[in-house]
Amino acid sequence: MIKLYELAGKNGVIFSPYCWRIRMALSFKGVNFECEEVAFTDIKNISKGLFKTVPVISDNNNAINDSYDIAVYLDKTYPDTPLLFPNEDSKQTFRFIEAWSNSLHSDIAQIAIFDIYKKLQDKDKAYFRKSREALFSMPLEDVQESKSAEATSSLLKKLLVLEKYLTRARFVGGLNPTYADFIIFGSLKWLLQTSEPFSHHELPEKTREWYVELSNRYSAPSS
């Protein structure tokens, strides 16, 4: 059975966009897996300190890090399950989608950075505050208070690209979900798992329908 190490806050809140990509991918492929919750400060204990970030999966004595590399590994290792990448060419196309989806993260961080902090395990809070305040050059509370409205507007404008596409396709992958869908889903799940004021009802209509359908299909924990 595959073990998925994923970032967790208090009360089992799973909020990393990259971990959600792989949780969704594993559910989509229908392979057996179990999840192990990991705090920021405990990542160093995975695989004898081999990795600095999650997700990490352990499978048949193989330890793989980086969400995209894990997705590629899953298709290669489990080719008889539904494919995350429909063909070889899609791997490069999905890299572009990954870059676009990652562009949402700066907005999401400004919308929810203090909410994220409040949902962390206590042992992670000092590390998170120090590292993120160094990045923003201001207290986390001030980031969210002063930048959230503008960041929300920016995020919703970027999502109009997805909204327009979904008026003509059920999924980003077309008729069926692909890893491209899970890339974008993970980014939005991060926001919706952590932000206290922002809910899925604020998403554009087709994007909201797409998000809810994917969530209903694949986001339930495996164990």
120 & 19 share domain: no
- Within-domain flag for 29: yes
According to the model, what pLDDT value does residue 32 have? 95
Q: How wide is the angle at C-alpha 185 spanned by C-alphas 181 and 189, nearest 5°?
A: 170
Q: How is 34-91 classified by DSSP, letter by letter?
A: EEEEE-GGGGGGGGGGT-SSS-EEEETTEEEESHHHHHHHHHHH-TTSPPSSSSHHHH
Q: Which of 47, 159, 167 is nearest to 100 (CA)?
A: 159
Section 126-138 average pLDDT: 97
Question: What's the pLDDT score for residue 55?
Answer: 98
pLDDT digits (tens, 9 = 90+) for 18-59: 999 999 999 999 999 999 999 999 999 998 878 999 999 999
Q: Which two tokens stand for residue 150?
A: 């503008």
Question: 158-202, pLDDT tens digit by residue?
Answer: 999 999 999 999 999 999 999 999 999 999 999 999 999 999 899
Model confidence at 222, pLDDT cuts 50, 70, 90, reads very low
Give Cβ neighbours of residue 45 (< 8 Å, ≥ 6 apart). none
Residues 105 and 53 in one domain: no
**Mean pLDDT of the region 212-218:** 96
Look up the CATH number of the domain holding residue 63.
3.40.30.10
Distances (CA, A) of 181 to 40, 142, 170, 196, 203: 26, 33, 10, 24, 16
d(C-alpha 71, C-alpha 78), whole Å:
10
Judged on CB neighbours under 10 Å (0-12, 13-18, 19+), 201 is exposed
90 is a domain residue? no
pLDDT at 154 over 70: yes
Chain-wide mean pLDDT for the chain? 95
User: Can you spell out the DSSP letters for 109-142?
Assistant: HHHHHHHHHHHS-HHHHHHHHHHHHHHHTS-HHH
Structure tokens at 38: 């990991």
- Maximum Cα–Cα distance across the chain: 50
CATH number at residue 131: 1.20.1050.10
Number of domains composing the chain: 2
Same domain, 25 and 101: no
Q: Please identify, among 30, 49, 84, the residue that sits at the C-terminal boundary of a domain.
A: 84
Which of 84, 110, 130 is the C-terminal boundary of a domain? 84
For position 39, what pLDDT does the model report? 96
pLDDT in tens, 80-97: 999 999 999 999 999 999
Q: Is the pLDDT of residue 216 over 60?
A: yes
pLDDT at 223 over 90: no
Domain end point (choices 57, 84, 111): 84
63: Cα separation from own chain's centroid: 20
Residue 123's Cα: distance from chain center in Å? Answer: 22
Task: Give percent of the chain above pLDDT 90.
Answer: 95
Instruction: Give me the pLDDT at residue 221, please.
Output: 53
State residue 61's pLDDT score.
87
**Are residues 50 and 133 located together in one domain of the fold?**
no
| Domain housing 14 | 2-84
Domain-located, residue 78: yes
Q: Provide the residue count of the chain.
A: 223
Same domain, 33 and 68: yes
Up-side HSE of residue 96: CA atoms within 13 Å toward CB? 5
Confidence of residue 64 (pLDDT cuts 50, 70, 90): very high
d(CA 70, CA 7): 16
* Whether 110 and 208 share a structural domain: yes
On whether residue 223 sits in a domain, the answer given is no
The Cα–Cα gap between 84 and 140 comes to 37
